[in-house]
Structure 1
Amino acid sequence: MLFPCTRGRKSSREKILDAAAELVGEIGAGRLTLEAVAEKAGLSKGGLLYNFPTKEALLQGMIQRLIDNVAAEKEEIRKRTPPGRNLEARLCTAALLKLCSGQMKETANGMLAATAENPRLLDPLREVIRETLRSFKDTSDDLDAALVAWLAVEGLNSFEMHDLSPFTTEDRERILQAVDRLLAKGIAE
């Protein structure tokens, strides 16, 4: 499931973001129209415009929701993760790996095309990346290991999101085990 379930009925905003995510996965962000999103969400165009007055606002909302979902996943993982070395890096890498699966992958990949046309859409993500680096610098027992692990997972995500990965399932598991060992033991000097 791409987005966390909430109790009760979904808000119009959630319906719109769900519909937009589906459409971006199917046709890409470049071909996305507000009319198509409103229709898929089962709302009037006015209802959509009330929540997202422009396509750019809708795309910003989608990017923010991707960021929020990764942050929420990180906090869920935190609840099940014992303390230890490089905790924030372990949480971050585990949450980022969720980005590679299912509709979230399709949505993120589709959003990439939109950001090529409007790089400002990535400003919130740039801030998250800067904050992640600050967090690693402040909390890591082995900053080198945290940075290398983070870059490895981001590289793997990039390969997988663009369907460029040369890795088998076994290779991928081996890489993830190496990342775990690196974060647990650090880089030997």
Structure 2
Amino acid sequence: MLFPCTRGRKSSREKILDAAAELVGEIGAGRLTLEAVAEKAGLSKGGLLYNFPTKEALLQGMIQRMIDQVASEREALRERAAPGPNLEARILTKALLNMCCGGKMQEVATGLLAATAENPRLLDPLRQVIGATLEQLKSTSEDLDAALLAWLATEGLSNLEMHSLSPFSEEDRDRIVKAIDRLVTKGIAE
């Protein structure tokens, strides 16, 4: 083994993103400073600047990590998914629903909301993913109407939950999730 000390350790980039996510959850992106992130990550400011030369680059890195986490969840679900109609829509909706509630992703999304309002370009990578997702659903869905409705319902529910705005009880949520699942597995009854 060439690098025995690095096995199991987080990279500097991961430490920085973890520290930034924790701080954004606590104080929001607007009050986030590179100095505070470096201190929280246990790195010098130079070490942070090597990975993320600006606050905008750091925020973009945080958004990209969220995109990558959803992509990883989708791949894990794809490996276990049963064959059937609207496979990509089933995987997509399940991944989004699995990841939307509580935890760090919710804190980071809420904390980044203000930053993306001030700088909408931060959302450009997400816009690209959304466009690619739409094209993938269009090219793979047996029942495109059902796939699109399920995706929209999932995005709506997950956004309400991500920003702590959901008015739904657990019972309501379960009913909605089952309806989404029916849409992507059985389609829309004509």
TM-score by length of 2: 0.94
Deviations 1:40-84 (CA, angstroms, capped at 9, x unpaired): 000011110011000000001111110000000100111111111
Runs ≥4 residues deviating over 4 A: none
- Give how far 1:161 is off: 1.7
Per the alignment, residue 61 of structure 2 pairs with 61
Per the alignment, residue 86 of structure 1 pairs with 86
Q: In structure 1, how many angstroms separate the alpha carbons of the residues matched to 2:110 and 2:80?
A: 29
Deviations 1:109-133 (CA, angstroms, capped at 9, x unpaired): 1112111010000000000000000
Per the alignment, residue 110 of structure 1 pairs with 111
Q: In structure 2, how many angstroms separate the alpha carbons of the residues matched to 1:133 and 1:33?
A: 36
Q: Does 1:184 align with 2:185?
A: yes
Per the alignment, residue 127 of structure 1 pairs with 128
- Bigger Cα displacement from structure 2, 95-104 vs 61-70: 95-104
Per the alignment, residue 162 of structure 1 pairs with 163
Aligned residues: 184
User: Would the aligned equivalents of 1:70 and 1:99 in 2 still touch at CA under 8 Å?
Assistant: no
Per the alignment, residue 3 of structure 1 pairs with none
Q: In structure 2, how many angstroms separate the alpha carbons of the residues matched to 1:99 and 1:80?
A: 20
Per the alignment, residue 150 of structure 1 pairs with 151
Q: In structure 2, how many angstroms separate the alpha carbons of the residues matched to 1:30 and 1:46?
A: 21
User: Would the aligned equivalents of 2:106 and 2:163 in 1 still touch at CA under 8 Å?
Assistant: no
**Cα RMSD for the two superposed structures:** 1.1
User: Would the aligned equivalents of 1:29 and 1:114 in 2 still touch at CA under 8 Å?
Assistant: yes
Letter in 2 for 1:40: K
Letter in 1 for 2:163: H
Q: In structure 1, how many angstroms separate the alpha carbons of the residues matched to 2:165 and 2:8?
A: 40
Per the alignment, residue 18 of structure 2 pairs with 18
Q: In structure 1, how many angstroms separate the alpha carbons of the residues matched to 2:23 and 2:177?
A: 31
Letter in 2 for 1:177: K
Task: For structure 2, list consecutive stretches of 5 or more residues without a partner in the other structure.
Answer: 1-5
Q: In structure 2, how many angstroms separate the alpha carbons of the residues matched to 1:46 and 1:159?
A: 38
Task: For structure 1, list consecutive stretches of 5 or more residues without a partner in the other structure.
Answer: 1-5
SS in 1 for 2:31: coil
Once the two structures are superposed, the pairs formed by residues 31-46 of structure 1 within 5 Å of their partners are 31-46=31-46
User: Would the aligned equivalents of 2:101 and 2:162 in 1 still touch at CA under 8 Å?
Assistant: yes
Q: In structure 1, how many angstroms separate the alpha carbons of the residues matched to 2:57 and 2:46?
A: 14
Per the alignment, residue 47 of structure 2 pairs with 47
- Bigger Cα displacement from structure 2, 154-163 vs 11-20: 154-163
TM-score by length of 1: 0.95
Identity %: 77
- Give how far 1:7 is off: 5.0
